[in-house]
Structure 1
Amino acid sequence: MRTSLLLAGLIGLLLARPALAGEDTITLEDGQGREVVEQNCAACHSLDYIVMNSPFLDRVKWEATVKKMIGTYGAPIAAEDADTIVGYLAAHYGKP
């Protein structure tokens, strides 16, 4: 019985490992503003949202997205940080 519980626990940990890794698997491209993006955006959601949405967003759409995060969802992002975030996302994760 004890061995079965131990085995079940180990299997559970192995299955949960990707979920536990979470942000460790997402590394944003190096560049000016990356730390501001990581600090502000990851406070509310996983950074994989940036990578997943990047094929669809240009600078104008990233700007609208950041404004939506602040206005609609109440993200506590300072104006200067919002500009930095948009600049970083447009440069590294924006459509041409």
Structure 2
Amino acid sequence: MIKIAAFTASLALAISGTAALAAPDSYVLLEPTAQLRAPPDASHGGGFQAAQESCQTCHSPDYVAMQPPRKGQAFWNSEVTKMVKVYHAPIEEAQAKAIAAYLDAAY
């Protein structure tokens, strides 16, 4: 009985000591190097600006660049709508339309 009690006490001490030594995870993020493509013309400048302000708060421009090229307006409308409705991106409807139009023109 004494051996079991001593083992239990040493096990509890080892577990609590290990927890005390564990440091919280921390990560060093690299500086972003990717950038959204410039709009092909001035008519998409508002969507470009809205995309820079809204989209990059959640993900890298690499996410946009990884999408299949020249998918069309319907694809980008769907993607932006998904970001708003599924992921709750705080984007107004007019901004969403401008972002989708810019993405269609630039990607």
| TM superposition score normalised by structure 2 | 0.62
Q: Which moved more, 1:47-56 or 1:57-66?
A: 47-56
CA distance in 2: counterparts of 1:56 and 1:78, whole angstroms: 25
Shift, 1:57, TM fit: 2.9
Q: Report what 1:30 is aligned to.
A: 38
Shift, 1:63, TM fit: 0.4
CA distance in 1: counterparts of 2:68 and 2:106, whole angstroms: 9
Runs of 4+ with deviation above 4 angstroms? none
Query: What SS does structure 1 have at the residue aligned with 2:30?
Result: helix
Q: Percent identity?
A: 35
Are 2:58 and 1:44 equivalent residues in the alignment? yes
Checking the alignment, whether the CA contact within 8 Å between 2:70 and 2:104 is kept in structure 1 is no
Shift, 1:27, TM fit: 2.0
Higher helix content, 1 or 2? 1
Root mean square deviation of aligned Cα: 1.7
Q: Report what 2:86 is aligned to.
A: 72
Query: What SS does structure 2 have at the residue aligned with 1:55?
Result: coil
| TM superposition score normalised by structure 1 | 0.69
The aligned amino acid for 1:83 is K
CA distance in 2: counterparts of 1:21 and 1:48, whole angstroms: 13
CA distance in 1: counterparts of 2:106 and 2:31, whole angstroms: 24
Shift, 1:67, TM fit: 0.6
Q: Report what 1:21 is aligned to.
A: 31
Task: Flag the structure with larger Rg.
Answer: 2
The number of equivalent residue pairs is 74
